Amino acid sequence: MQVLLTLLEQYGLWLVFANVLALQCGLPVPAYPTLIVVGAMTARGDVTVAQVIAVSTIACVIADLAWYFAGARHGRRVLRLMCRLSLSPDSCVRQTENIYERWGAPSLVVAKFVPGFAVVATSMAGMVRTPLPSFALFDTIGALLWSGVAVALGWIFRGAVNDILGVLTQAGHWGLLALIVALALFIAFKALQRYQLIRSLRMSRVSVDELNDLLAGQAPPLVVDVRSLSSQRRGRIPGAIWIDSHAFDESLRARGLGERIAQDVIVYCDCPNEASAATVAKKLMRVGFKRVRPLGGGIDAWIAKGYSVDTTG
């Protein structure tokens, strides 16, 4: 443990930079503990609060710019990749789009305080072609706030932090082991949350080929699109109606779906594991729809098969 503390004392700013950069690149390595500890250590005079905040902010902006340009170049593929890698079960593309669609670039000011939102939001900013100066301005403000809060907490509670460090130092190797175990438990807990989410969303899917055949049949199903409005600019499956998953009851009444409760329903989105589609499908089943299934692969699988999309309206 003393080795770790020595490293923090000698390479505090470099450790801050590496830790924050890794976190903002998407790795499950919490950076707030490091920032809080180094923030407490600023009272000794080796580094200043301004230096710690500056280094952390620079690391954030470097990683965020990388995701911004990746989103601008590769579009939705980057968003889906981040949602698959993320340990946060609530980081689906749909949730990020809802927030960014409503608030735009200013949402980046608080993005880092929302689990699962920050990295996906920076990629989305590039995808929707948010002007780079606007992105850089709000992202930098957000990084300054996020870093400043952690360092301020460390400085304000430096007495308590130093006491904890003292206990860990006295514990020697057991203290270091405790930190490693705590980190491992954190990652395991987040991974378990994600596994439970995916498991809860498992239900019978319909393939895009099956849907195409059903639409050409005598009794075509009701097709429901639950993507964000911005995503629908890519086109919809012909005949699909839109349901706002965040205003579910209002959407049902507005579309008059209560009168079509006996009809088969196919729900699609563009999220990994069809998360949004499966969630809305379960809501529809709870209000009385008998046969509701998500579309396996979502709109991307439909387009990849070469089936037509409706780009009007």
Residue 238 vs residues 54, 243, 294: alpha-carbon distances, Å: 51, 15, 16
Give the tens place of pLDDT for each residue, 105-153.
898 998 888 766 777 788 888 888 899 999 999 999 999 999 999 889 8
End-to-end CA distance of the chain: 62
Walk me through the domains of the chain, giving residue ranges and CATH numbers. 2-200 (no CATH), 208-304 (3.40.250.10)
DSSP track, 68-124: HHHHHHHTHHHHHHHHHH-S-TT--HHHHHHHHHHH-GGGGGTGGGSTTTHHHHHHH
3-state secondary structure of 70: helix
In 3D space, the residue among 84, 141, 89, 92 whose CA is nearest the CA of residue 121 turns out to be 92
Give the tens place of pLDDT for each residue, 226-248.
887 777 777 889 888 888 877 77
The answer to whether 311 and 237 have CB atoms below 8 angstroms apart is no
Range of weakest confidence among 1-5, 22-26, 155-159, 183-187: 1-5
The answer to whether 305 and 216 have CB atoms below 8 angstroms apart is no
Chain mean pLDDT for the chain: 78
The answer to whether 262 and 236 have CB atoms below 8 angstroms apart is no
What are 220's two structure tokens? 């075509």
Angle at 65 between CA 64 and CA 70, to 5 degrees: 100
**Strands, sheet with 265-268, edge to edge from the N-terminal-most edge strand:** 241-242, 222-225, 265-268, 292-294
In 3D space, the residue among 265, 252, 260 whose CA is nearest the CA of residue 295 turns out to be 265
Torsions phi, psi of 262, nearest 5?
A: -85, -5
What number is the average pLDDT over the span 87-106? Answer: 65
What number is the average pLDDT over the span 65-90? Answer: 72
**Cα separation of 281 and 205, whole Å?**
11
With a pLDDT cut of 90, the percent of the chain lying above it is: 17
Q: Do you know the residue count of the chain?
A: 313
Q: What is the pTM (predicted TM-score) of this model?
A: 0.62
Torsion of CA 270, 276, 281, 283, to 10 degrees: -160
**Cα separation of 32 and 50, whole Å?**
16
Residue 61 pLDDT more than 50?
yes
